[in-house]
Amino acid sequence: MSNPQPKEEKMENDHEIRIYVACLAAYNNGHLHGAWIDADQEAGAIYDDVRAMLRASPMPDAEEWAIHDHEGFEGVAISEYVGLERVAEIAAFIAEHGRLGAELFGHFGDIEDARQAIEERYHGAFSSLADYVQDLTESCTTIPEPLRFYIDWQAMARDAEMSGDVFTVQTAHDEVHVFAGV
C-alpha cells in the first residue's frame, strides 16, 4: 500500500470578491443607483468608492447607503448594514484562503479564531481523514508488514475526530483539510 501524500493546496480565491452598494435616497425614490465595489481592499478605499457612488447619485445630497448584494465570499453571508471594516477583513481572509477560509470563518464565526486555526493548527489537505491518519501513523512508527492489512484507518480517523483530537473541513469531494482539535 502506498503512502498517501497531502494533496496540493490551493487556497486562493479564483474570482473577484465584491459588494453591491446602493444609494438609499435613490432607492427610496424609485431609482436604482449603486455600484459594484471591490471588497478586497482597505476599508478606507471601500468607503471612498461608496462616497464616489453617492456623489454620482441622481438624488442630491445622498448620504445613506446599504449593501444589497455580494459576490465571491464563498458562502459567507454579508448583511445589508455590516461595517466596511468587517467587509474588508472578511474579504481579505477569503482572498488569501479561498473556500477553506470561508468554511473556517463559518465554523468559528470569528476571523481571529479562523486565522489562528489556519496558522497554528493546520495539518494539510488530504483525500480523506483516513489518509491523514495513515500518513501520520506511518511517519511516526514502523508497522510490521504482516499487520498492515489489519489496520482499520477509517476507524482510527473516526476515533480521532470523535475524540476532538482533530477536526476537518471538506472543500471538495476528495479534499479534506485537517486541523488539530481544541
Which tens digits make up the pLDDT trace of 146-171? 898 899 999 999 999 999 999 999 99
Nearest to 178 by CA among 73, 92, 103: 103
pLDDT digits 0-9 by tens, 112-141:
999 999 999 999 999 999 999 999 999 999
- Cell of residue 109, nine digits: 464565526
Q: Which of 134, 139, 133, 138 is nearest to 178 (CA)?
A: 133
| Model confidence pTM above 0.75 | yes
Phi then psi dihedrals of residue 37, to 5 deg? -125, 135
The residue type at 154: Q
- 21-55 exposure pattern, b = at least 16 Cβ within 10 A, e = fewer: bbbbbbbeeeeebbbebebbbebeebbebbeebbe
Q: Specify the domain boundaries for CATH 1.10.10 within the chain.
A: 121-180
Tell the burial category of 155 from Cβ atoms under 10 Å away from its Cβ (0-12, 13-18, 19+). Answer: exposed
Domain 121-180, CATH: 1.10.10
